Amino acid sequence: MSVTVFFLIGIAIGVATSAPVGPVNIAAIQRALRYGFLPGLFAGAGAVAADGIYAGFAAFGITAVSDFVERHSGLIQIAGGMLVILFGARILAAHPHFSEEDGPPTGLWAGMGTGFALTITNPGVVLGFLAIFGSLGKWAPDPGDYAGA
């Protein structure tokens, strides 16, 4: 298959894995509503970077990622669970109103780091990428076809 077909398949996989609303999407939306477009964009960009890392791992070596996740699943689940709990506690403690007193965000890079950390520690993202790439069947790139991957 051509690189264009693989590119279109990649776009479809990206939309399928990024569309469901989860804690990272909520954080990006909340940041955009509270502080403006650019901080929300950076929070989403952190999630995109983590998704890109997992997608690369899945495309280039499903077995390696699977083994890593299997060996470290407890730690990944604990870290991801703690981040989601902290995120939820922060939302519960926040005042649900916007006022002129709201200061600027802590920083664009801090929002990006939060989005990245929430996504990279989410075992659901790993399993989703593994399931999608594992089910490509005849559309999967051949072993050694790095451009296709």
pLDDT tens-digit map of 23-73: 788 888 888 888 888 988 888 888 888 888 877 776 666 555 566 767 777
pTM score: 0.55
Mean pLDDT is highest, among 26-40, 83-97, 108-122, for 26-40
- Spell out the residues 6+ positions from residue 130 whose beta carbon is closer than 8 angstroms to its own: 58, 62, 65, 66
User: Using an 8 Å Cβ cutoff, are 132 and 16 in contact?
Assistant: yes
- DSSP H or E stretch at residue 54: helix 37-60
Is the pLDDT reported for residue 93 higher than 70? yes
